[in-house]
Structure 1
Amino acid sequence: MANKELSENIEEYLEVLYKYGDKRNYVSTTTISKNLDIAPGSVTQMLKKLEDLGYINYIPYKGANLSDEGFKIAQKITRKHRILEKFLKDILKVKPENVHIQACNMEHSLSDEAERSMCHILEHPDFCPDDKPIPPCDFDFSSCGDCINDKNDIEEIGIRKANLIAIPDLYSNEKAEISFIRGDTNILKKLMSLGIAIGVPVQIDKSNKEDDSLDIFVNGSKIELPMTIANNIFVKIC
């Protein structure tokens, strides 16, 4: 990653792995090749390099998935892309057909400070214009309210060590701990009344999963949450 061009190239690969496989599932070389419009042989060479750098796990003829460090980078660049799409469409009124390509051109150079400001202006959005979920920020806050009220310069804000995923991305009965809740104080108060708060252990049950709701277990109690809320509760896997 000695220069900007190489850095952007790495980010593009990690972004594809995040989109199609996340941290858990392997993505085939063919899928990566088609999405980046790069020859399969060149993709294979790059995957080997990314594994040497510690960003991915690569298995020949199976594909690659993200390491912890690769996941952190991929989630961050994906967040910037989707926030940019939201900002370009809703605030700058850019034509919908131009939003994606402009976000692609801007995501690699968008500073953390600018990203945070956009998030505040957009009132902590949860979905981009294509209805894809916006990942959480990596600042060490437990809620959006904490971020809004913190007046420190961006360099003074701590970075969260653990990688977070939204509750619906957990496997059934997988143990996790709530680490970040996106939304305003009304959402926080509503969730706290249900026993859902930062630091609380949580599991989910997908056996009776509906598209618009999710069963979660908190302190032995089963709670049915609308997906619109569940997608804004982020956990670290225990």
Structure 2
Amino acid sequence: MADSKISENIEEYLEVLYRNGSNGEQVSTTQLSKDLGIAPGSVTQMLKKLEDLGYILYTPYKGATLTQEGMKIAQKITRKHRILEKFLLDILKVKEENIHEQACEMEHALSDEAERALCTMLHHPDLCPDENIIPACDFDFESCHQCYSQKDFDQVINRKFNLLSISELNADTEGTISFIRGNNELLNEIDDFGVKIGQHLKYEFDENDASADYLVNIDDEELNIPVEMANNIFIRV
């Protein structure tokens, strides 16, 4: 289950921070107040608490950014929420206008084992119904094939670092390719494209490029990565 030491209220704050600043962007108190429906003064008090807990860096009158620890928690709860939305819509056929609220109620109680089973059943989805990126799992695998091959969940260990997909990167963000998501067909396509675990990747955002592809530099070679691949290639930043 979700970590019992972390309250649902804290998880909600970190989830909103992640939604608005997944790659280190500063999120204003005003934005948090709007998204959470909570008075700015109460938001400020919680941000100070979250900073004391080591989950965020808070600058008065400017906003907050997630620390690595805060990011880990935020990605985990966001992933569960978005996978649940996918499950509720695609499998249970719940009305689309109702899935967000129901996922909010379920996400805090969803165990890691059940999350993994849902991901496998849904064939490793990359987008939720709102077409937001589903974060990578925090299990210590380099691909979904490795995850599928490990049948005993008790043998699964957690990854020690956070990941971002190419689709989530800011200009000039760089890091090591550490996880590739997808079924065997997509994994083979990405491999044939020349993208491998362990390579160094830098996102070279080109504001003049009208294409939907992502221009990246991988081990000193420029590549245009299609969106369906970019959503599923994760780097350690």
Report TM bin, short chain: over 0.9
SS state at 2:204 partner: strand
Q: CA deviation at 1:135?
A: 0.6
Q: Give the corresponding residue for 2:147.
A: 147
Contact 1:14 1:70 in 2 (8 A): yes
Q: Give the corresponding residue for 2:138.
A: 138
**What amino acid is aligned across from residue 221 of structure 1 in structure 2?**
E
Q: Distance in 1 between matches of 2:89 and 2:174?
A: 38
Q: Give the corresponding residue for 1:93.
A: 93
SS state at 1:206 partner: coil
Q: Percent identity?
A: 55
Q: 1:112 to 1:211 in 2, by over 3 A?
A: farther
Q: Give the corresponding residue for 2:224.
A: 224
Q: Distance in 2 between matches of 1:200 and 1:133?
A: 22
Contact 1:211 1:227 in 2 (8 A): no
TM-score, length of structure 1 as denominator length: 0.93
1:60-209 equivalence runs, <5 A? 60-153=60-153, 155-207=154-206, 208-209=208-209
Q: 1:98 to 1:175 in 2, by over 3 A?
A: closer
CA RMSD of aligned residues (A): 1.7
**Aligned structure 1 segments of 4 or more residues deviating by more than 3 angstroms:** 3-6, 171-174, 208-211
Q: Give the corresponding residue for 1:56.
A: 56
Contact 2:23 2:168 in 1 (8 A): no
Q: Deviations over 1:78-100 (max 9, x none)?
A: 00000000000101111111111
SS state at 2:205 partner: strand
Q: CA deviation at 1:70?
A: 0.3
Q: 1:46 to 1:40 in 2, by over 3 A?
A: same
Structure 2 unaligned spans of 5+: none
TM-score, length of structure 2 as denominator length: 0.93
- Alignment length, in residue pairs? 234
Q: Deviations over 1:90-131 (max 9, x none)?
A: 011111111111001101111111111110110000111111
Structure 1 unaligned spans of 5+: none
Structure of higher RCO (CA pairs closer than 8 Å, 6+ residues apart): 2
Q: CA deviation at 1:168?
A: 2.9
Q: CA deviation at 1:5?
A: 9.8
